[in-house]
Amino acid sequence: MVIANERIDADKLQKATKIIEDLQAELKDYIAKGHGPFLAAVYDDKGNLIAKTANSVINEICSNNHAEMNVIKATEKALGTYDLSSYNLSLYVTSEPCMMCLGGIMWSGIKAVYYGVPSKRVEEITGFDEGFKPDWFNEFKKRNIIAYGQIAQEKGEAVLYEYVNQGNKVYQPER
């Protein structure tokens, strides 16, 4: 069941579902090239793709190279600014952002975030630690950032199961 921090807009949800399903379908190709099981894209309010990137923690040997952080960097580079707030951009990602990525989204000026698989399921399926994220939906709402989640969740879970079943690395620091 889709959740949101605003009244669900059928047009936004339809667009987000198409984009997230497309990202989930493309993700298998990225995984085959050594990327982690997450893919993100940023679109402007006219529906133009600005940037799309996968998680590259392992293949680029950098713990903060999550798909969301990578796509924010690529968008800032494409637009020539670190402040994206005047562009009315939306970020779409195959799974719920972790605590680090939520901070990056908030500070970047992105106006909306749409995600597929919720963190609880990501953790159950993969063992990734998504971090502590108290009431982030409402915190985003206070900052006028729209959030929709659990979009095309079953399709996204299937990709995560496939990632794990293929024996791909689930990275996390030892505690």
Catalytic machinery residues:
68
Q: What are the beta bridge partners of residue 49? A: 43
Q: Pull the structure tokens for residue 72.
A: 């924010």
Burial code (b: 16+ CB inside 10 Å, e: under 16) for 42-59 equals bbeeeeeebbbbbbbbee
Taking CA 95 as the corner, what is the angle to CA 91 and CA 98, rounded to the nearest 5 degrees? 85
Q: How far apart are CA 20 and CA 12, in angstroms?
A: 12
List, in order, residues 6 or more apart from 70 with CB less than 8 Å away: 40, 53, 54, 55, 56
* Spatial contact of 79 and 55, defined as CB atoms under 8 Å apart: no
Nearest to 68 by CA among 45, 21, 102, 29: 102
